[in-house]
Amino acid sequence: MDWKDTDYAGWGRALRAKGAIARPDTRAALNRLEAAPAFGMRRSYGDAALNSDGRAVDMSGLDRLIAFDPDTGQLQVEAGARIGEIAAAFAPRGWLPAVMPGTGFATIGGCIAQDVHGKNHHHMGSFGQHVSQITLLQNGQEISVKPGTRLFKATVGGLGQTGVILRATIKMQRCAGDVMLVTERRAPDWETHLALLDASTASYTVGWIDATATGEALGRGIVEEGESASGLVRKPKGARKVPFDAPHFALAAPVVRAFNQAYFYRVPARGRSVVRPLQDFFFPLDKIHDWNRLYGKRGFHQFQCVVPLEAADSLRAMLAEIAGSGLASPLAVLKRMGPGRAGYLSFPMEGYTLAIDFPNRPAARALIKRLEARAAEAGGRLYFAKDSLAQGAQIAAMYPDLPKWQTEVAKADPAGALETDMTRRLKLRSAT
């Protein structure tokens, strides 16, 4: 297996690395490689998958579906298997992964390493809560990791620092079919938006929020509720591709405001129900390959935080600052989260989560710094899968179980062979 010097980046393209990458497609090929951090499809936005001036292993070639038990819904897969491909293969048979993030390109290994959440977190919790076994590669040996152990809690949400994730067994859930019945309703302001999220009993709920609206319209958006269904629906169109980096003015404030207004009013005032292909509901941006190029060569940063329910006013203040800045993109999401989390460094907590993208500009970086401080003051935390700018002191305060994680990681990787740009930037493995 050859190592190839490569320039590469996270999905946000604002942070980059240069180093040697190997892409094994068999277990034997992986065995021949020296210990190095692993990544999947690099859909984390920042530097979680980067190892500047070092080596990294691309696990996306190890993507086999190994075994499925239709009586229990237990599916064993290799770490490089994509969540969207699993959903497409099993939904017609009446099964779905219990938790799915916003892109179908995320690998099972990545979903575990970030303990991802989805549009059903308020009911189903995080991805790691539906993992019944993980196989790690530690110092050349396979280690089986079970729920309830300290190593499991350090691995799920643990950014790949306890070993290379080789395989996992996940618990699928029953579904009605491979289409989604979706109800869309306008939320004219912040209070209504939160009330609709709080009152929702649907299996899947998500809010698109207009992060440019101000005054009485602050927080307006569209709340979508979804249920799986069976029946005929148009076949999803082939994905489009962004062929070049967009110019600077493509996401200028007037353009974004106009787009957001049109998007809000596309839903009738009385609301509506539509039937959509499963992929269109769960992975809407996957229809546009390389959509990250819309932010231009400099890339973008995403700010995503979660704050406790009682800190909703703090989140509203953050949104007001974002709306007044003129820097926001059309991609902004608001969700209600439940308490479910599986690992020491898992992101979720019961509360509200706001995620929003900003083009990589000095003013946006300064704004994100202020937002991060507000999130910390509100007792919230930042999401490692999206972060690219935070500092270590903030993270230590947000994640009180960090010392427990550090203890397990020190035992699993004492030489620090699995460190990444993110773990170094945030000083995650250093004594606090």
- Write out pLDDT tens, residues 104-133: 999 999 999 999 999 999 999 999 999 999
CATH code of the domain in which 312 resides: 3.30.70.2520
pLDDT tens for residues 179-226? 999 999 999 999 999 999 999 999 999 999 999 999 999 999 999 999
Residue 421 lies in a domain: no
pLDDT, tens digit, 9 for 90 and up, residues 346-390: 999 999 999 999 999 999 999 999 999 999 999 999 999 999 999
Residue 280 falls within a domain, yes or no? yes
With 0.85 as the threshold, say if the pTM is over it.
yes
Which two structure tokens, joined as six digits, stand for 365? 């970086």
Domain assignment present for 282:
yes
In a domain, 295, yes or no: yes
Express as a percent the part of the chain with pLDDT over 90.
89
Measured CA angle at 372 (ends 369, 215), to 5 deg = 90
Q: What is the pLDDT of residues 129-142, one digit of tens each?
A: 999 999 999 988 99
Please enumerate in sequence order all residues whose Cβ is within 8 A of that of 315, keeping only pairs 6 or more positions apart, or say none: 305, 307, 352, 354, 378
Domain count along the chain: 1
Q: Is residue 229 part of a domain?
A: yes
Residues of the domain holding 240? 179-395
Q: Is residue 105 part of a domain?
A: no
- Is 1 a domain residue? no
Q: If pLDDT is split at 50, 70 and 90, which confidence band does 47 have?
A: very high
Task: With respect to residue 431, please indicate whether it lies within any of the assigned structural domains.
Answer: no
Which of 142, 51, 141 lies closest to 416 in space, CA to CA? 51
Does the structure show a pLDDT above 90 at 68? Answer: yes
